[in-house]
Chains A and B, each alone.
Chain A
Amino acid sequence: MAGKISAPLAALHVRVERRNAGNPSFQLDVSAEVLPGFTILFGPSGAGKSTLLDCVAGLLRPDAGQIKIGEDTLFDSQIHVNVPPQRRRMGYVFQSLALFPHMTVKENVGFGLPNLPESERLSRINEILRAFRVENLSGRRPEEISGGEKQRVALARSLVTLPRVLLLDEPLTGLDAELKSFIVADLRAWNAEQKIPIVYVTHTREEVEALGERVIVLDRGRVVSQGYPHAVLGAPRSRKLAQALGFENLFGGTVLDLSQVDGVMRVRLEESTTEIEVPLGYAAPGDPVKIAIRAGDILLASHRPDGLSARNVLEGNIVALEQRGTTVIALVEAGVTFTVHVTPSAARSLGLTAGKPVWIVLKTHSCHSVSE
């Protein structure tokens, strides 16, 4: 930093409660603080991510709560403040991008700057178009440019107004990873100077890991965890979230017994005779549970191992083997069918082939019990 402070560092404070008239069982109840820089809002579809962004932007009115940027109150149900969206000074890039189809790229980008003198207006538009590498498209209409270009134009349109917060609702879906990373790099470069909070919504785990920033995980309208990706994504709390996070193994099971002293319980998987030991959850013997296990957390052994700390060793057979990129995916039948990821070299040295008997090794803490 060259000591140039171009914008005050104002965080976004959000506390909203909102019931959905059409779906009484869904309630948004979120409290979060979003600091300047990238924050990823992650959750399965239907978790309330877009509803939350709409509340922050002022497009939806929360039933209760408070929304502030720094000390500036945008919404407060107690003192009846609700600043309309056009006066919140936010940037919001919708999933559909919502470029005006009857305007050129330049007109789209200039839409948010109606009151500037023409010369300043033009220089602001050109500057942002250059920053997002779309200055050569200024005379085109949205229907005449590619998907990636549209996304750049939508970002430029949102940022040219110098918003105090940028909300991005899965804006880069449908782009390949390389193009996505280029656009994100341009966005980071822009924000290195502006330092505004950027809320980036996604429902794919790959994007969370690629961006590698603070994550807020939303599920069924609530913040279920927040922190950095590796910590947050490792322990899902619900079946839907586990699926969204890419937990390849999800089994139904029945609790057999609990050991309070050891902090574990034994679970029988599905209708099989396979029993595993998992961390203690809120359950009683006979209760149904769901167990989520990441395919990469499972070890395979070609001989029965002993002298291990891992509590679960299951005998099984490989039923299918497939290499995808640098991952070998093995389906192992051991009462239930486990999906296991190993490296190609591990697969070679173990001599894995379909039909071969193997032993599955599972650490207790790699088995997560999740709610429905």
Chain B
Amino acid sequence: MEALLLSIRLAVCVSAILFVVGLPLAYWLAYSRWRGKFLIESVVALPLVLPPTVLGFYVLVAMGSRGPLGKLWQAAFGHGLAFTFTGLVIASVLYSLPFTVQPLVASFESIDGKLLDASAVLGAGRLRALYRVILPMSIPGVVTALVLTFAHTLGEFGVVLMVGGNLAGATRTVSIEIYDRVQSLQYAEANRMALVLLAFSFVVLSIVYGVNRRIGRRVWSPWPAK
């Protein structure tokens, strides 16, 4: 149970951070006309193709007591980053980045450019266009991004193992716990957790698809009319 709660806490933290970080990044990727944009797009998509061990390895090196991030953290907070919950959050943010950014970019790019032109001509700056036009028209994309990020973080294994290790209460997430149980031949225990994770993932995805479908019919909108 402890492992499951830890996994959920991790997924909530990562989703929240990625929404705040991913939104401006997605906005930039969707609307920038910079020629070198493809390089940033490639970096954002890297976690999709890299083995988690490779990503985890470099994050671990950076966070280690002699790595740049580790040193900085040590100087600021008096303890290291590797094998802590915070370290796990940082690694997971990197690992789940494309799952937040890509649905948002796709959603932003599908908005008719003329609507943004109209918004500008009517006096709205970029921020107002974002809040009154782009985001309200991207609700399915936002919901998809949040849920994919949450679910992906919940299920991650390799990166956690590399960066977090296996410390009960701090870094032992549910997927690690399942692995542990299987290694020690406790199949019944493993099965119970796997089943919880399976059911949870299914329920979450059902909610997303259900909500997206309803938004498609404009029944529900979290953006109140001004």
Question: In the bound complex, do residue B117 and residue A98 qualify as a contact, i.e. CB atoms below 8 Å apart?
Answer: yes
Which residues of chain A have C-beta atoms less than 8 A from B123's C-beta? 86-87, 89, 112, 114, 161
Given contacts A107-B225, A107-B226, A114-B128, contact A98 B120 (CB under 8 A): no
Flag whether B158 is at the interface (Cβ < 8 A): no
Question: In the bound complex, do residue B120 and residue A59 qualify as a contact, i.e. CB atoms below 8 Å apart?
Answer: yes
Flag whether A85 is at the interface (Cβ < 8 A): yes
8 closest residue pairs by CB, A with B: A112-B122, A98-B118, A85-B120, A98-B114, A92-B121, A86-B120, A102-B136, A86-B123
The A interface is mostly helix, strand or loop, or mixed, namely: loop
Which residues of chain A have C-beta atoms less than 8 A from B133's C-beta? 100
Flag whether A111 is at the interface (Cβ < 8 A): yes
Question: In the bound complex, do residue A98 and residue B124 qualify as a contact, i.e. CB atoms below 8 Å apart?
Answer: no
How far is the CB of A143 from the nearest CB of chain B, in Å?
A: 9
Contact with A along B25-47 (1 / 0, CB 8 A): 00000000000000000000000
How far is the CB of B212 from the nearest CB of chain A, in Å?
A: 15
CA A250 to CA B180, docked complex, whole Å: 85
**Size category of the binding interface on chain A:** 20 to 34
How far is the CB of B111 from the nearest CB of chain A, in Å?
A: 10
What would 29 A/B residue contacts be, using CB atoms closer than 8 Å? Answer: A54-B117, A59-B117, A85-B120, A86-B120, A86-B121, A86-B123, A86-B125, A90-B121, A91-B121, A92-B121, A98-B115, A100-B115, A100-B119, A100-B133, A102-B136, A102-B137, A102-B221, A102-B223, A103-B225, A111-B119, A111-B132, A112-B122, A112-B123, A114-B123, A114-B128, A141-B218, A157-B122, A161-B122, A161-B123
Within 8 A of A (CB), among B72-130: 112, 114-115, 117-125, 128
| Contacts A98-B112, A98-B117 known; 6 new A-B pairs at CB < 8 A | A89-B123, A96-B114, A98-B118, A112-B124, A158-B121, A161-B123
Flag whether A70 is at the interface (Cβ < 8 A): no
Interface residues contributed by chain B, number (CB under 8 Å): 22
Which residues of chain B have C-beta atoms less than 8 A from A84's C-beta? 120
Chain A residues within 8 Å of B, Cβ to Cβ: 54, 57-59, 84-92, 94, 96, 98-104, 107, 110-112, 114, 141, 157-158, 161
Question: In the bound complex, do residue A59 and residue B121 qualify as a contact, i.e. CB atoms below 8 Å apart?
Answer: yes
Contact with A along B129-141 (1 / 0, CB 8 A): 0001100110000
How far is the CB of A165 from the nearest CB of chain B, in Å?
A: 11
Question: In the bound complex, do residue A94 and residue B122 qualify as a contact, i.e. CB atoms below 8 Å apart?
Answer: no
CA A86 to CA B130, docked complex, whole Å: 14
How far is the CB of A148 from the nearest CB of chain B, in Å?
A: 19
CB-based nearest A residue for B132: A111
CA A239 to CA B124, docked complex, whole Å: 42
Question: In the bound complex, do residue A92 and residue B226 qualify as a contact, i.e. CB atoms below 8 Å apart?
Answer: no
Q: Which of A86, A87, A99, A161 has the most CB of B within 10 A?
A: A86
CA A111 to CA B131, docked complex, whole Å: 12
Q: Which of B115, B118, B119 has the most CB of A within 10 A?
A: B118
